[in-house]
Amino acid sequence: MDLVIRPGAHAPSGVLEPPPDKSISHRALLGALLARGTTIVEGLSRALDVTATLEAIRAFGAVVSERANGTLEIDGPGIEGLVEPEGVIDVGNSGTLARLGLGVATLVPGLVVIDGDASVRRRPMARVIEPLRSLGAVIDARGGARWLPAAVRGARLAGGTIELRVASAQVKSALLLAGLGAASAVSVVEPVATRPHTEELLGLLGLEVDEEELADGRHRVSVVPGTPRPVERIVVARDPSAAAFFVVAAAATPGARLEVRGAYLGPTRTGYLDVLRRMGAEIEVLGRDTVIVRGAALGATTIVADEVPSLIDEVPVLAVAFAAARGTSRIEGAAELRVKESDRIETTARMLEAFGATVETSHDGFVVEGPTSPSGPVLVDSVRDHRIAMSAAVWAATQGIGARIRDAEWVATSYPGFVDDFVRLCEAVVRTED
Ligand SMILES: O=C(O)C1=C[C@@H](OP(=O)(O)O)[C@@H](O)[C@H](O)C1
Ligand SMILES: C=C(OP(=O)(O)O)C(=O)O
């Protein structure tokens, strides 16, 4: 489906309550699965990636019922009661479910086969499979244990310390979840701290989780194996990464004002706010979860490797801010972008070029010469990557130009209500075409 945006929209303004956080939603469901008893999950994301996790926990033995008010009541079998799924676990487009699912599968007695769509089949799995195997997991996968589909045979793992080369919350999470059934503690050392949602969940489930900042700047997290106790209620915070499309567009437009309410604002998720601040936008955080954005004429900046985990999913839309800013902006140390839903170094560059921007890519980042003054209409291929589609839509709106975004239905991967929020906040007139 193509999204056709008529000329005449404007930068987002008003109040945004972003959708529920995708990362936290995945964890809430896995927590409800691994704790034996009933958990109420409030405000779960309806993103397709999370729907895949909901199906997965059902296949592992959770019983899920939806209440009239939209909250979910989940009866989890607990680690001891996990069941061997009848069919393949289909992760769809979700790298998070693929990686965390490999960790959980080691706890399941019997065989678990995990597969996903064409994009997930291209994403690296050795980064999870190799360390799990080193703890005793029995896993095989396509291409010499590098790609999905993968097959896991439940086994009791040994404890130990794993030192990761890539900063990945997904890999860390897979190891911590698998560690729940290990013979002794599992520790993960990551080069830079990544999002802590699995650690937060395990703490909520009454498990012992330790964290330490090492002298060389790395971050160590350990979990002591144990039985999760059910949490009565998990309330999912709103998604700062979904908010980012509108926040960046407002920040890059002098005179625009946007208020975002209810978003998770933990330090590993808000790197993009720091970047926008140093580019000149006025960003104010009120209380625990409200952000007021006032747009400005932005100046150029450089994003360096250590910051990347705190804004990894926001890079396609931050690239729009780069293109709008005066001067040369760059991002480096971001090779991880090459192994997301698309190769986001190349696909972000193509998206910017469709608007007339000057971009040069490197192996681990790109450089953008701004400012760009796009004239419409523009044609952007989303390459079935939700974040490319949404970044292009908000940029077209800030410029008031017409745009056609191919395969825009993929926004539902993370933000099913995106088009509604876009139409309301940007006063956009849109139509969809098959
Ligand atoms: O753990 C998570 O929920 C996620 C971690 C990130 O991946 P990596 O940490 O593997 O880079 C991010 O890109 C993804 O959208 C969600
Ligand atoms: C990379 C993303 O998700 P995942 O890794 O779960 O597919 C994303 O949402 O941008």
Q: Sketch the domain layout of the chain as residue ranges.
A: 2-19+238-433, 22-224
Q: What is the pLDDT of residue 376?
A: 85
Known binding-site positions for phosphoenolpyruvate: 22, 95, 123, 170, 344, 387
By CB neighbour count within 10 A (0-12 exposed, 13-18 middle, 19+ buried), where does 194 fall? Answer: buried
Residues whose CB falls within 8 Å of the CB of residue 68, separated by 6 or more in sequence, listed in order: none
| Cβ of 95 less than 6 Å from ligand 2 | yes
Which residue in this structure is represented by tokens 């936008």?
Answer: 281
Q: Do 2-19+238-433 and 22-224 agree at the fold level?
A: yes
- Angle formed by the axes of helices 22-34 and 169-179, nearest 10°: 10
Residue of the CA atom closest to atom 8 of ligand 2: 313
Among 126, 121, 67, 74, which Cα is nearest to 93's? 121
Q: Residue 342 C-alpha to ligand 2 middle, in angstroms?
A: 10
Q: Point out the ligand 1 atom lying closest to the alpha carbon of residue 198.
A: 1
Low-confidence ranges of the chain (pLDDT < 50): none
Q: Residue 237 C-alpha to ligand 2 middle, in angstroms?
A: 18
Among 21, 7, 24, which Cα is nearest to 262's? 21
Cβ(31)–Cβ(205) under 8 Å?
Answer: yes
Residue of the CA atom closest to atom 5 of ligand 2: 95
Sheet holding 138-141, edge to edge: 89-90, 111-115, 147-153, 138-141
For residue 327, give both structure tokens: 């001067």
Give residue-wise pLDDT tens across range 100-157: 999 999 999 999 999 999 999 999 999 999 999 999 999 999 999 999 999 999 999 9
Residue to mutate (ligand 1; options 21, 312, 364; most atoms within 8 A of CB): 312
Q: How many helices (H) and strands (E) does the chain have?
A: 13, 24
Residue type, 213: E
In 10 A of CB 217, how many CB atoms? Answer: 10
Q: What is the pLDDT of residue 405?
A: 98
Distance CA 250, CA 354 (A): 21
**DSSP state, 409?**
G
Q: Could you tell me where the beta strands, DSSP code E, fall in 240-326?
A: 257-261, 282-286, 290-294, 302-303
- Percent of the chain exceeding pLDDT 90 equals 99
Q: Point out the ligand 1 atom lying closest to the alpha carbon of residue 336.
A: 11
Distance CA 341, CA 410 (A): 11
| Cβ of 313 less than 6 Å from ligand 2 | yes
| Cβ of 421 less than 6 Å from ligand 2 | no
Among 304, 381, 296, 309, which Cα is nearest to 346's? 381
Q: What is the pLDDT of residue 83?
A: 98
**Catalytic site positions:** 313
Cβ(12)–Cβ(397) under 8 Å?
Answer: yes
Q: What is the β-pairing status of strands 138-141 and 147-153?
A: antiparallel
Q: What is the pLDDT of residue 412?
A: 98
Residue type, 190: E
Residues whose CB falls within 8 Å of the CB of residue 422, separated by 6 or more in sequence, listed in order: 12, 393, 394, 397, 428, 430
Q: What is the pLDDT of residue 68?
A: 86
Distance CA 389, CA 374 (A): 17
Among 399, 385, 308, 401, which Cα is nearest to 351's? 385
Residue to mutate (ligand 2; options 23, 26, 30, 49; most atoms within 8 A of CB): 49
Known binding-site positions for 3-phosphoshikimate: 22-23, 27, 168, 170, 313, 340
For residue 398, give both structure tokens: 């800030």
Q: Residue 71 C-alpha to ligand 1 middle, in angstroms?
A: 25
CATH number of 2-19+238-433: 3.65.10.10
Q: Point out the ligand 2 atom lying closest to the alpha carbon of residue 49.
A: 6
Distance CA 319, CA 300 (A): 11
Q: Which fold has domain 22-224?
A: UDP-n-acetylglucosamine1-carboxyvinyl-transferase; Chain (3.65.10)
